[in-house]
Amino acid sequence: MTITDELTLELRSVPRHGWEELTPRREWILRGPKGAVVFAISRNTAEEHEIAMTVPQAYCLDDSGWSWTAWDLGRHTTEPARSYEEMEQENCGYLDGKPCYYDGSGLQAQYLLKHILRQKRNWNAAIECVLRDRYHMWIEAGKYQ
C-alpha cells in the first residue's frame, strides 16, 4: 500500500526456523528513498506460550490471552546515522540489496506491540502511523533514540 509518493508500506510473513506454518514472523516495512523502518512480531507457539506465562512481563498478551513476542522496531539506512556506526550488511533485504546500517530495539518493539494490543483497532493503521513517524524522526531528521 502506498502512503505518500515516496513512502510505501509492506506487510510480509517470514518463516521462523522450525515453526514456519504455525507462527510466522510478521514484518511491517516502511520504505522510502533514504531507508526503511521495520516492526517485527510473532504469535507464540504453544510451547513458547507456556514459557511466556512464567515471565508474563516479557511478553504481550492479546484479548484472548495468547502471548506475542516483539522482535524489533528499527531503522535500516544506506548511510550511517552516527560516525561510529559500522555496516550491518552488505546486501540488505529491506533496502533492495544495498549496503545497510542498522539500529533497532526489541524493547521499543515491545512497547509498540503493547500499545497496539490495547488499541483494539486496525493494527495496520496504527503500525503505519508509528512507522511513518519513526521514518521522519529517525531517518529524515536523524534523531534516533
pLDDT tens digits in sequence order for the chain, 145 residues long: 444 558 999 888 776 555 445 566 789 999 999 999 999 988 776 666 666 666 655 567 677 767 778 889 999 999 888 888 889 999 999 999 999 999 998 889 988 988 888 877 778 888 999 999 999 999 988 776 5
For cell 531528521, name the residue. Answer: 141
1 inside domain: no
Which pLDDT belongs to residue 69?
80
Q: Domain residues for 85?
A: 8-140
Which pLDDT belongs to residue 35?
94
56 inside domain: yes
60 inside domain: yes
Which pLDDT belongs to residue 2?
42
Q: What share of the chain is helix, strand, coil (3-state, %, to 5)?
A: 30, 30, 35
47 inside domain: yes
67 inside domain: yes
Which pLDDT belongs to residue 39?
95
145 inside domain: no
Amino acid at the residue 37: V
Amino acid at the residue 57: Q
**Structural domain tally of the chain?**
1
2 inside domain: no
Which pLDDT belongs to residue 1?
42
Residue 75 cell numbers, joined: 531503522
Residue 37 cell numbers, joined: 523502518
